Amino acid sequence: MTTSREIRLASRPVGTPVAANFAVASVELPAPGAGEVLVRNHWMSVDPYMRGRMYDRPSYVPPFQIGEALQGGAIGEVITSNHADFAPGDLVNSMFGWREAFVAPGAALEKLPAHAGVPTQAFLGVLGMPGLTAWAGLGEIGKPLAGDTVFVSGGAGAVGSVVAQVAKLRGCTVVATAGTDEKCDWLRSVGVDHAINYKTCGNLLEAVRAAVPKGINVYFDNVGGEHLEVAIEMAKPFARLVECGMISGYNAENPVPGPSNIIQVVGKSLMMRGFIVMEFAGLRPQFIAEMTGWIAAGKLKWEETVFEGVEKAPDAFVGLFSGGNTGKMLVKL
Measured CA to CA, the distance from residue 72 to residue 77 in angstroms comes to: 16
Mean pLDDT, rounded, for 136-142: 98
pLDDT digits (tens, 9 = 90+) for 243-267: 999 999 999 999 889 999 999 999 9
pLDDT of residue 306: 98
Task: Give all domains of the chain, ordered by start, each with its CATH number.
Answer: 2-125+303-332 (3.90.180.10), 129-278 (3.40.50.720)
Instruction: Taking residues 92-99, report their average pLDDT.
Output: 96
Provide DSSP, 116-152: --S-GGGGGTTTSHHHHHHHHIIIIII---TT-EEEE
- Mean pLDDT in residue range 303-316: 97
Say which residues have a Cβ less than 8 Å from residue 201's Cβ, sequence separation at least 6.
207
At 115 the pLDDT is: 64
pLDDT digits (tens, 9 = 90+) for 207-232: 999 999 999 999 999 999 999 999 99
pLDDT at position 113 over 90 = no
How does residue 2 score in pLDDT terms, banded at 50, 70 and 90? confident
CA dihedral 24, 29, 35, 37 (to 10 degrees): 60
Query: Residue 106 in contact with residue 86, Cβ under 8 Å?
Result: yes
- pLDDT per residue as tens digits for the range 11-54: 999 999 999 999 999 999 999 999 999 999 999 999 999 999 99
The runs of H, that is alpha helices, within the chain are 129-136, 160-169, 181-189, 204-211, 226-234, 264-267, 284-296, 313-319
Contact 241, 273 (CB under 8 A): yes
pTM of the model: 0.95
Query: pLDDT for 122-131, tens place per residue?
Result: 999 999 999 9
Q: How confident is the model over 290-300, as a mean pLDDT?
A: 95
Model confidence band, residue 236 (pLDDT cutoffs 50, 70, 90): very high
Residue 137 CB coordination number (10 Å): 28
Chain segment 148-194, per-residue pLDDT in tens: 999 999 999 999 999 999 999 999 999 999 999 999 999 999 999 99
Banded pLDDT at 116 (limits 50, 70, 90): low
159 with 135: CB under 8 angstroms? Answer: no
pLDDT band at 117 (very low <50, low <70, confident <90, very high): confident
DSSP string, 63-112: PPPTTSB----EEEEEEEE-STT--TT-EEEES--SBSEEEEEGGG-EEP
CA gap 273, 242 in Å, rounded = 6
